[in-house]
Structure 1
Amino acid sequence: MTEQNEKNCLNCNRTDEQVPLLHLTFKNETKYICPQCLPVLIHKIHLIADKLPGVEIAPDAAH
């Protein structure tokens, strides 16, 4: 987040003035993500791992 009160999607950086944001916490830090970027958090977390220092990235499951 760029300011204390400003809420931005951690992936696309849009604000809560532009899109709805979902609140999440990670390592006692508040983060926000918009519904459009939620699949990135779920399925492609490696793309935003730099914005979540310390996140564990699970290896792809064998199908």
Structure 2
Amino acid sequence: MIPVEVERRIAVYFFHSYLPEEVMITFVDSLIPACVLVEEDSIDHDELVRLAIEIIDQHFEEET
């Protein structure tokens, strides 16, 4: 089993190295307001991950 920290570091590398600029802009536009408007301990991390995955999936569907 791959340690969680190793998976996280791989994901961060992929995220910053391979996602197109327009996807990164969409992330910022979509995720930042959800983080700024609530207290840090009440941020729904699962919801943010779900939203990010939807953005990535939508981008790749448009590519094909």
Q: Please give the TM-score of this superposition, normalised by the length of structure 1.
A: 0.25
Question: Whose strand proportion is higher, 1 or 2?
Answer: 1
Higher relative contact order (CA 8 A, sep 6+): 2
Question: Whose helix proportion is higher, 1 or 2?
Answer: 2
Q: Please give the TM-score of this superposition, normalised by the length of structure 2.
A: 0.24
Larger radius of gyration: 2
